[in-house]
Structure 1
Amino acid sequence: MNEILARYQQVKAAQEVAFIPFLVLGDPNPEVFLKLIQTIEPYSDFIELGIPFSDPIADGPTILSANHRALQSGSNYSNCFHLIQEVRKLTNKPLILLTYGNILGVEPHRKQTLDKFAQSGINGIIAADIPVEESQELLEEAREVEIDIIFLVTPTTHTERLSNIIGKAQGFIYLVAVKGITGARETILNETSSTIRRIISKLGTDRKIPVFVGFGISKPAHIQEIIQMGADGVIVGSALINQIEKNLDNPIAMFEQIEVFAQQMKNATKALRV
């Protein structure tokens, strides 16, 4: 069993759902970023990382600002491998990378890039703009270095395409909860509820691969709602990064507030399903 599924089985055995925080590598600067990893690690089941990128098409203003801060601090593709290695020293939990096709590149460059990510400690990659229909070579290359390629499912994914994704899915399915870009939201939208229920119904109760829900989750109550809908994990990015942005001039407050937030979110994942 690979690292992602093995860790998920541990979470499931504890009768919890997974909490997956997302941070941009090097935001707001490499030193503070690594301290943030240390702060959230005890409450995390997986950690998702984004490579600083000037045009992250799936992201809203909060994560876009995080990318810009990271780039301005000197974090970029060239030195992201070193930062990932430093993160790996701080945790043995699975590391998931969010990136894009032009960063991964094409053969033979892509295979070398995947190998470097694997050597750095990455267990799974979400290539946000590579559709499942064009993924076969990437899947084969990633399999050689034992990296899972994780696919996105959205409210607009039709049944035939969903079946294709399920057939090729590795690690977990990333269920995008809303139409549109990332960003913390006050309430769980109706389209989120209907999308989760449709995907869970298609996969069945004895599914072999978990479903993690992201985009818009910003408070413990959201997690408890999503648990009741049948999801296996929650991915939280913008709400976490908001805490960084609010405390750029006060790192001590930043660490304190992020720790409280991460602890509250993880505690919410321990609510048993009924």
Structure 2
Amino acid sequence: MTRIDAKFAALKAEGKKAFIAYIMAGDPDFDTSLEVVKGLPGAGVDVIELGLPFTDPMADGPTIQAAGQRALDGGMTLQRTLDLARAFRETDDTTPIVLMGYYNPIYSRGVEKFLDDAKAAGIDGLIVVDLPPEEDEELCLPAQAAGLNFIRLATPTTDDKRLPRVLQNTSGFVYYVSITGITGAAEAQATNVGPEVARIKSATDLPVIVGFGINSPEKSKAIASVADGAVVGSAIVSQIAAGKPVAEVLDFVKSLADGAHSA
């Protein structure tokens, strides 16, 4: 059982919804990023989604693209991202970390070496948005064999014919993208999300977590009320981009987490 599996089992036993926070590794710099990440569990975050900076982030909107560029400009790399996770693990051995990014840096490193290094750094799961199910032998199956969850995205365009293929080798949880488009582009609507979550849950026992377009405690609560939890990224990254002190960023995260947990 991975840390992700254990966390969702514990939340289910408590009757609580999950709150997941996305942070771009190395934004605006390594030390500040690490300080934020270290503060997330205390702010109520159940799972940390750690963004891997990449030069061509096709699924990300302007906010997260800019965060990735700031991180890259500051010298952030795949190795430094793993170093950040390892530093976090020095004081927290229980909070799950999901590494979210694109396949190119992983491919360049070599899948076997990457998986060994990710496990050693304390990574629990992967979201690699540009590897479809047809490419499962590339990374998904090796990751699962190495003891890492491979989390797949489902979207409003994932119809009933496609859904079984998407779910086939998914583990940890299913990430439902609430809108058609890029991150931060529009607001999620619980009335639209609810039926889609129910459709996915009828096909899997995995938790279904909803992300994209959640930017306030009220929205976090509304979305979590129709799913197993909520993910917030762009709204948190925006706080960091505005130069807010770490304490203020974490206060905002706590308000979002409280919203999801109150659902």
Question: What TM-score comes out, normalization by structure 1 length?
Answer: 0.89
Which structure 2 residues correspond to residues 1-274 of structure 1 after superposition, within 5 A?
A: 1-42=1-42, 43-91=44-92, 92-105=94-107, 109-183=110-184, 185=186, 187-189=187-189, 193-204=191-202, 207-229=204-226, 231-247=227-243, 253-272=244-263
1:254 to partner: Cα distance: 2.0
- Measure how far apart 1:215 and its partner are: 0.7
Deviations 1:64-96 (A, max 9, x none): 111111111111124222122112224221100
Q: SS in structure 1 opposite 2:50? A: strand
Specify the code of the residue in structure 1 equivalent to 2:77: N
Separation (CA, whole Å) in 1 of partners of 2:90 and 2:163: 36
- Change in Cα spacing, 1:69 to 1:5, as seen in structure 2 (3 Å) is same
1:146-199 superposed Cα distances (whole Å, 9 cap, x missing partner):
1111111011111111112223220000101101100165x434xx64344224
Taking the aligned partners of 2:76 and 2:106, their CA distance within structure 1 comes to 17
1:257 partner letter:
E
Change (3 A) 1:45 1:260: same
Note the alpha carbon deviations across 1:23-52, whole angstroms, 9 max, x for none. Answer: 111110011111111222211101000111
Name the count of aligned residue pairs: 261
Indicate the SS of the match to 1:240: helix
- Please identify, of 24-33 and 7-16, the stretch whose mean Cα deviation from structure 2 is larger: 7-16
Contact 2:193 2:223 in 1 (8 A): no
Contact 2:188 2:212 in 1 (8 A): no
1:159 is paired with a residue whose SS is: coil
CA contact (8 A) 2:102 2:128 kept: yes
Q: Specify the SS of the correspondent of 2:175.
A: strand
Do the aligned partners of 2:177 and 2:212 also contact (CA within 8 Å) in 1? yes
Query: Deviations 1:238-273 (Å, cap 9, x if unpaired)?
Result: 0001111112xxxxx42232121111111112224x
Paired-residue identity, %: 33
Q: TM-score, normalised by structure 2?
A: 0.92
CA distance in 1, matches of 2:159, 2:143: 26
Tell whether the 8 Å contact from 1:184 to 1:239 is kept in structure 2 after alignment. Answer: no
Mark the CA change 1:69 to 1:79 in structure 2 (over 3 Å): closer, same or farther. Answer: same
**What is the CA deviation profile of residues 86-145 of structure 1, one whole-angstrom value per residue up to 9, with x for unaligned ones?**
122242211000121212218x92122111111111100001000012213423211232
Distance 1:137 1:241 in 2: 30
Gaps of 5+ in 2: none
Contact kept? 1:173, 1:209, Cα under 8 Å: yes
> Do the aligned partners of 1:184 and 1:217 also contact (CA within 8 Å) in 2?
no
Conserved 8 A contact 1:40-1:258: no
Tell me the distance in 2 between the aligned counterparts of 1:13 and 1:245. 37
Q: Which runs of 5+ in 1 are unaligned?
A: 248-252
The answer to whether the 8 Å contact 2:156/2:196 transfers is no
Q: CA RMSD in A?
A: 1.9
